Structure 1
């Protein structure tokens, strides 16, 4: 028959008897913790001194903890006094405070690309990889990788459309946004181009449909804002750029295939460019310009009048041979700078960025 210790043999309900466990004094534990972390040295000292007589009276464990807490706290108190007397504590506190403030400032400037606001310049440590998760907002006067120009929401897709479809939408929309953001194209460095941040398939599933447009570079960071729109330009500057910029845009639309390979496309392009030249002629003549700009405006208008006649021959060429015959003279008639003297008179950037050839590029 089984026997339970200190119980009746075989009696139902009999349980073993155990000695009461020896508890550890809580004040001793608090003293040690306070001494280790050094946050409130006097508190650890007081807790340890109070704990010792209680431990002895109650037969508790923790005497070693209390003594260790007293020693550590006393040492911390000594360091605190020395620091206050020598000024070292103040120096340490100031260093901590400065580091904390710098850390908070850096955290405040670090954000997701989707949180970028129009006009903010930023550094991208991922160097403009396909999907960035973090950018650092900086003063535009400092070197930076990009400048946010606008944002829009993707619509028309019930489910994730894939990167290729999003690229197609983003490229067109961001080109339009960037064109309006930087009307003074000569102020944009040659290695700074249209860029955008897209939703990923993962963020799309969480409801993200935002595209962030930017001017950015994958090469050396650039300084200064490229913004030149209604918020930074006066009415005359804006009017002039809106008049001549479409010519520059049309120039870059020249087909890759030459007239011998695709005559129809080249003839259509020449016609489009002719329309922009004629619109510019009308725009220059239909506005009252500042006195300083009147002479350069008249000279540019006369030049565009001659260019219009020669581009009309190109746009009405009967075949590729006739097109080639009129091609060079048409280009020579179109001013490569589209009015640098006018830009000077109006206070715009009057020097082409290095490597950019203007309208005749």
Structure 2
């Protein structure tokens, strides 16, 4: 406890403490409050001074032998049992000679090391050590296949432990020829946000961008089974803090039969004829799918604009097909498809020029009926492409 009043001149007794009685030649016992000395009743230097026997304070505490600690650690680490045994045998005489602690640690290290050495010898004799190493190697191989969803690469197929979720920590890469849950079609980095924007803005961005990436990766859309959907993995709030900005886009199965075989159909897998055909017909398919949510009665202008875009895509598709040299069995069905597209373009042009909503509805069904529903099934078959989703499921 600190004195109630501040100390005075260090050469003088503290106020409030009487000086030694002059009648006593020896004075009160040193260190008592009645004989504070030049520095008062408290020791002037550091811990231990004046608090224990002897003129320099308490006796030093015994230390723990370092070899004993090393022996225990080496005994616990199964790959270092001989060292643990040696350290323990060295530690015991040192502890006795230097009056140190740690005898129990050394003994425990010797016992553990002896057991580990015995097990190693038995493993080598019986071949168990080889089996253990084989299992360790297999475990490392499996661990190498387990990756974060954000580290997956374009073209890799994977399985997920459990159902697909908005976030996943581990997926297993598998051969695309084997049954799998999904296939990575690409990805992108989120930009434009200085801080965590929340899930909704990233989710909206991922939905739009991943649809484009998926269409470019799997151009043969008729080969995609009906139970396969665009799926994506987005950063979480926690991973965002560590610098994660990756969105991984996939084609995945949430329910139903797993995928077998790759869905990839792009410049790396298609021949020039297949590529030309899909580039032109996908333009039409994508335009049709962009129909406004509000019908013509609610937003007539938006629907007219959409019909105009579909008309343009049909005209461009027809030109693209006629501008390519088709050979073999595909030439005739592609030519027939071109004629169907020309006829459909006229009806969609009328739909886009409708004077009002009533006129629009009169032309709506006519325009759709003029457009080939299968977008050229015969031409697809001649080119070796899927004619419908059933072809991919039965493959």
**Fold conserved (TM > 0.5)?**
yes
Instruction: Determine helix, strand or coil for the equivalent of 1:300.
Output: helix
Alpha carbons 2:185, 2:217 under 8 Å: kept: no
User: Paired residue for 2:173?
Assistant: 138
1:337 offset after TM fit, Å? 0.9
| Equivalent in the alignment of 1:301 | 338
In structure 1, the partner of 2:13 is: none
Task: Give CA deviations for 1:183-205 in whole Å, capped at 9, x if unaligned.
Answer: 11112222333344445566667
- RMSD between superposed Cα atoms in Å: 3.9
Task: Indicate which of 104, 107, 118 corresponds to 2:154.
Answer: 118
Per mean C-alpha deviation after superposition, the further-off stretch among 312-321 and 345-354 is 312-321
**Residue 46 and residue 341 in structure 1: after superposition, are their counterparts in 2 closer, same or farther (change >3 A)?**
same
Partner of 2:376: 339
Q: Is contact 1:149–1:215 with CA below 8 Å preserved after alignment?
A: no
Match of 1:86 among 104, 123, 126: 126
Structure 1 residue 292, shift from structure 2 partner = 1.5
Matched with 2:321 is 284
Distance 1:166 1:57, change over 3 A: closer
Larger Rg: 2
Q: Post-superposition shift, 1:240?
A: 0.6
Displacement, 1:296? 0.8
Q: Which residue in 1 is equivalent to 2:135?
A: 95
| Residues 160-199 of structure 1: pairs in structure 2 closer than 5 A | 163-199=199-235
Counterpart in 2 of 1:359? none
Q: Could you say which structure has the greater relative contact order, defined with CA pairs below 8 angstroms and 6 or more residues apart?
A: 1
**Could you tell me whether the CA contact under 8 Å between 2:224 and 2:392 is conserved in 1?**
no
Equivalent position of 1:2 in the other structure: 29
Aligned residues: 347
2:333–2:379: 8 Å Cα contact kept in structure 1?
yes
The correspondence of residues 217-236 of structure 1 with structure 2, limited to 5 A, is 217-220=253-256, 221-236=258-273
Report Cα offsets for 1:52-82 as digits up to 9, x if no partner. Answer: 5555666666666555554544444333333
Deviation at 1:349, TM superposition (A): 1.8
User: Structure 1 residues 181-190 or 51-60, which shifts more?
Assistant: 51-60
Q: Is the 8 A contact 1:277 1:304 kept in 2?
A: yes
CA deviations on 1:98-150 (whole Å, 9 max, x unpaired) are 334433x14xx41252x4433333445585544x3634251333412342323
Query: Deviation per CA, 1:15-39, whole angstroms, max 9, x where unpaired?
Result: 6235665566554554455445454
Contact 2:225 2:389 in 1 (8 A): no
Contact 1:258 1:266 in 2 (8 A): yes
- Comparing 80-89 with 58-67, greater Cα deviation is found at 58-67
Pair 1:214 & 2:241 matched: no
Which residue number in structure 1 is paired with residue 278 of structure 2?
241
TM-score in terms of structure 1 length: 0.76
Q: TM-score under structure 2 normalisation?
A: 0.70
- Kindly report which structure 2 residues correspond to 1:247-326, keeping only aligned pairs within 5 A, or say none: 247-326=284-363
Deviations 1:307-351 (A, max 9, x none): 334434434444444444444343333221111111122122223
Shifted more, 65-74 versus 343-352: the winner is: 65-74
SS at match of 2:389: coil
* Higher normalized helix content (fraction of residues): 1
Does residue 151 of the first structure (1) align with residue 178 of the second (2)? no
Cα deviations by residue, 1:212-240 (Å, 9 ceiling, x for unpaired):
44334433453333221112212211111
**Correspondent of 1:328 among 360, 365, 370:** 365
Mark the CA change 1:56 to 1:252 in structure 2 (over 3 Å): closer, same or farther: closer
Retained in 2: the 8 A contact 1:124–1:134?
no
Deviation at 1:293, TM superposition (A): 0.7
**Tell me, what secondary structure is at the counterpart of 1:118?**
coil
Q: CA deviation at 1:246?
A: 1.8
SS at match of 1:227: coil
Cα distance between partner residues in 1 of 2:358 and 2:224:
38
